[in-house]
Amino acid sequence: MPTLICGSVAYDTIMVFPDRFKHHILPDKVHMLSVSFLVPEMRREFGGCAGNIAYNLHLLGGEPVIMATVGQDFGPYAERLDALGIRHDCTRVLPTHFTPQCFITNDLDDNQITAFHPGAMSESHDNRFDHVEGLTLALIGPDGREGMLARTRELKAAGIPFVFDPGQGMPLFSGEELLGCVAAADYLAMNDYEAALMTDKTGKTLAELAAMVRALIVTRGADGSTIYVDGREIAIPAARAEAVLDPTGCGDAYRAGLLFGIERGWDWETTGRLASLLGALKIAQRGGQNHRFDRASLAVAYREAFGCELPAW
């Protein structure tokens, strides 16, 4: 069953600052902030929310279809996707633009300072998915503003259930626009910071937002996650990571687990635990798409993390 993943495909330039940002940012001087961080460690990775989610869903055995707008420099990424067997026939190349670029600096506390150049992503509203047969589920992640609004209308009109995951794109929308997207969606996924921003912008409580969708998922980093469904709050524990090396892409890995569980009709406890485990597996590796697992190793890790069995598929 193909799953449409709408959002960014980007190159991530990831740098590590071997100290803590808080030691170098003076709270009483933020109105005139001018800081420079020496970053002796730097690498370039394949990333973007859509690319990362698709990578994890593919590892699980799903059939992701990436829908993104990219630029003249997309060639190496396309070759990688082809080698992995991940569909990108909904990806449109604009030769006059760059592929989106993300510049990320992490400190020793895993805090991040990120600069993002959208490039071709700003033209995502012209993409189409009507040639993809058998779509039963989709996710709308951070993308160009008009593209996110267009996908919301199109998926709703086509009757395809979807997860609305506004992420870093949330500041692009008014409270009224966000409520319109939530009302059209079947599922809403955010981290705890984004959830606070959503409630502030819309004037709705989490309980009120949860009542508008089949399920509301809020991730809380090392504190696990909460799934609001049918008037209940299901607490999902965080799986213990073998190492904490790089948080980049952890939320995307979590969302792949959500999509996989939803596709298979699993209960929310099982789905949430799988999502949590994928986040833990990712954080133990650098980059958004360098971790590996198969069904057998995933089943063992799930049992060790939660003391119960992962359903077979």
**Residue 24 CA neighbour count, 13 Å, CB half:** 12
**Could you tell me if 10 and 48 are in contact, meaning their C-beta atoms sit under 8 angstroms apart?**
yes
Cα 151 from Cα 149, distance rounded (Å): 6
Cα 276 from Cα 256, distance rounded (Å): 10
Annotated active-site residue in 28, 110, 252, 267: 252
Q: How far is CA 114 from the centre of its chain?
A: 15
> Tokens 């730097």 sit at which residue?
42
Q: Does 267 qualify as catalytic in the annotation?
A: no
Residue 112 dihedral angles phi and psi, to the nearest 5°: -130, 140
Token reading at 286 = 């650098």
CA distances from 19 to 25, 108, 115 (A): 12, 6, 19
Token reading at 87 = 């569909």
Nearest to 69 by CA among 96, 45, 99: 99
Residue 42 dihedral angles phi and psi, to the nearest 5°: -150, 140
**Could you tell me if 140 and 3 are in contact, meaning their C-beta atoms sit under 8 angstroms apart?**
no
Nearest to 128 by CA among 50, 49, 67, 66: 67
Say which amino acid occupies 119: G
Say which amino acid occupies 277: L
Q: Can you spell out the DSSP letters for 237-291? A: PPPPPS-----TTHHHHHHHHHHHHHHTT--HHHHHHHHHHHHHHHHTSSSSS--
The residues annotated as belonging to the active site are: 252
